[in-house]
Structure 1
Amino acid sequence: MALRFTLRQLEYLVAVGDFGSVTEAAERVNVSAPSVSAAISQLEREFRITLFVRRHAHGLSLTQAGRSFVEQARRILTEAAQLNALSNEVTGQVRGPLHVACLMTFAQVVIPALRRTFCESYPEVEFAQNELDHAGIIEGLRLARFDLALSYDLDIPSDMEFHELGALPPHAVLHEGHPLAGNDSVSMADLASHPMILLDLPYSASYFISLFRDAGCSPNIVERTRDIWVMRALVANRFGYSIANIRPAIELALDGSRLIDIPISGDLRPMRLGIITMREAAKSLTVRRFIEFCSEKLKDGVHPGIRRLSMPPETPPET
């Protein structure tokens, strides 16, 4: 008897296997949770095996057979994607699925405009976006959940490659009444004694703290948050200053309070914005075209949603 299943059902199976949750898998593949549950149940009936153990309040755990099925399903989906990529190469058409991850700290100010322009240029591309921290991006690329990712050059593993789009130096984010708000620039030593709101994301937090260490001082961290907009609101409401590399086009927190961005003096390592891909993975025409598109639209890190901050010119010595 011939087995009947679809690639879509295999996609749902892999998603549930990766996330251990129907709800989260449904969010990732952009369908309803009942549709994912129905697909899993249909696969179990078709193959007459149990793929998952259902544990109330603890999600789903793969059975031994389920693990083997998920890995085989992943290989089938990869082969199917290669057929689609081969078709695009032969016809020269940019189309099909494109799964893009983006670092959550700048997803709001970069991805939507890029996606809109790219999809208008290539309407047959099925664009899917995900916002994660850097650690989640690295894991997702290795599991082939994403074709590529927009992030920073933070400890890029050797099995991945980084296509640089531009350097973004760090700057101080202050509220209007901050004692340093009137300065043209500040040093890490100037900031060290003041209360700091740390943007506490994997890799990013270590980078910010290293700026103080390299300057021979330590930050006075009084608050931590993983959300850049919460950080900006806390700063605007005078709980402390922060440091960031992305400078949104608006100078306000989301509650309307004004913020002041000031360059930090010294030879500080910038964050480098770019695209991360798996090193040995074949890049489809759609992936290559998106990388070229980003290289054009984000040349030197310039983007409509990002304001650049320049150091004030040095005052020439008196003669």
Structure 2
Amino acid sequence: MAIRYTLRQIEYFVAVGDAGSIAVAAGRLNVSAPSISTAISQLEDALGITLFVRQHAQGLSLTPGGRRLYKAARELLEGAGALHAMAGEISDQIGGPISVGCLVTIAPYFLPELRKAFEEGYPSAAFRHEVAHQADLFRMIRGAEIDTAITYDLEIPKDIAFEPLADLRPYALFAPDHPLADRESVSLRTLAAHPLVLLDLPISRDYFQSLFHRVGLKPRIADRSAHLAMVRTMVANGFGYGLLNVPSANPNAPDGKPLVFRPISDPIDPLRVGLLTMRTEMKPRILQAFEALCRDRVPPLASGRHPVQ
């Protein structure tokens, strides 16, 4: 029996099934929406079955038959990936697809450099990345949408493994004319008396507020933002001090105004950054290679260019 569909069409079908939208799937795969739409139509013609119900307001949803074929399609893609990995092992080359997730707040500081180094070292690899919040990273790991993720060691489920790579210690940042900017370090008690511009993301806000709560203090939250760049810019413009733990080689806010970085003098547990993977006895060689790269590159990225002196 002749096979009238391609693995590319199957890949697009699974991507749309995951996303529930052709536009979202197109963005994730970095291809045009019309290309995906055409591939889905061709696959439906080849299989003789309608895969999706098209709803203008809610996007696309799998038909009952589409749901059954979706599971088989995922298994087919996994088998194709395993075949590629086996071929690489036979030829002693590391290549094939790898999908890496990263926590949204730290992605700009780690992911681009790691991806560039990996693609230069393994030109046969097909690297794809996703930037997401913690809960979404857990979901994507479990759903095999990503192979690994770079994130913090917070609220890690028991079925997901975490390998620590580096510690990220918190620091305070100020505008140069802030009353605390000329100090070599600052205590939490001193900071608590001044207005704080809080990075308002689930993990970050809970972590920074817990630093004060552990020593019986409460920060004076003057303003907040879910965007790291906005926090830096508000601090540089005198709305308060900030608390961060991501590395940065840039001493200025996005608007060009200078910032001053100071370590916190209290003994504080740092956040750990590391790799998430599903607990399994066997990992593809390409994933092992990426993990080895992270062990080598992440520690200096986390500390070697840190602005606190």
State TM-score, norm by structure 2.
0.93
Report how far residue 285 of structure 1 moved: 0.7
Residue deviations 1:30-72 (CA, integer Å, cap 9, x gap) = 1111111111122222222222222213221222222222222
Q: 2:292, 2:17 → 1: CA distance? A: 33
Q: Counterpart amino acid of 2:175? A: H
Task: Tell me whether 1:243 sits opposite 2:275 in the alignment.
Answer: no
Residue deviations 1:205-248 (CA, integer Å, cap 9, x gap) = 22222112112122222333222122211221222222111131
C-alpha distance 73-207 of structure 1, shift in aligned 2 (>3 A):
same
Give the aligned partner of residue 122 of structure 1: 122
Q: Please say if residues 247 and 302 of structure 2, whose CA atoms lie closer than 8 Å, have aligned partners that are also in contact.
A: no
Q: 2:12, 2:206 → 1: CA distance? A: 36
Q: Counterpart amino acid of 2:165? A: L
Task: Tell me whether 1:192 sits opposite 2:192 in the alignment.
Answer: yes
Please state whether the residue corresponding to 2:202 is helix, strand or coil.
coil
Task: Tell me whether 1:214 sits opposite 2:214 in the alignment.
Answer: yes
Q: CA RMSD in A?
A: 1.9
Q: Please say if residues 196 and 220 of structure 2, whose CA atoms lie closer than 8 Å, have aligned partners that are also in contact.
A: yes
C-alpha distance 296-58 of structure 1, shift in aligned 2 (>3 A):
same
Q: Please say if residues 247 and 301 of structure 2, whose CA atoms lie closer than 8 Å, have aligned partners that are also in contact.
A: no
C-alpha distance 303-194 of structure 1, shift in aligned 2 (>3 A):
closer
Give the aligned partner of residue 260 of structure 1: 260
Give the aligned partner of residue 306 of structure 2: 307
State how 1:42-191 maps to structure 2 within 5 Å. Answer: 42-191=42-191
Report how far residue 175 of structure 1 moved: 1.6
C-alpha distance 197-124 of structure 1, shift in aligned 2 (>3 A):
same
Identical amino acids, percent of aligned pairs: 44
Report how far residue 23 of structure 1 moved: 1.0
Give the aligned partner of residue 285 of structure 1: 285
Give the aligned partner of residue 203 of structure 2: 203
Give the aligned partner of residue 316 of structure 1: none
Q: Please say if residues 7 and 77 of structure 2, whose CA atoms lie closer than 8 Å, have aligned partners that are also in contact.
A: yes
Q: Please say if residues 165 and 299 of structure 2, whose CA atoms lie closer than 8 Å, have aligned partners that are also in contact.
A: yes
Residue deviations 1:249-290 (CA, integer Å, cap 9, x gap) = 111111111111111122211111111111127311111011
Q: 1:244, 1:224 → 2: CA distance? A: 13
Q: 1:36, 1:217 → 2: CA distance? A: 54
C-alpha distance 82-303 of structure 1, shift in aligned 2 (>3 A):
farther
* Segment drifting more, 55-64 vs 262-271: 55-64
Q: 1:217, 1:303 → 2: CA distance? A: 28
Q: Please say if residues 186 and 265 of structure 1, whose CA atoms lie closer than 8 Å, have aligned partners that are also in contact.
A: yes
State TM-score, norm by structure 1.
0.90
Task: Tell me whether 1:273 sits opposite 2:287 in the alignment.
Answer: no
Gaps in structure 2 of 5+ consecutive residues: none
Report how far residue 168 of structure 1 moved: 1.0
Q: Please say if residues 249 and 307 of structure 2, whose CA atoms lie closer than 8 Å, have aligned partners that are also in contact.
A: no
Report how far residue 109 of structure 1 moved: 2.2
Report how far residue 3 of structure 1 moved: 4.3
C-alpha distance 182-106 of structure 1, shift in aligned 2 (>3 A):
same
Report how far residue 308 of structure 1 moved: 5.7
C-alpha distance 277-308 of structure 1, shift in aligned 2 (>3 A):
farther
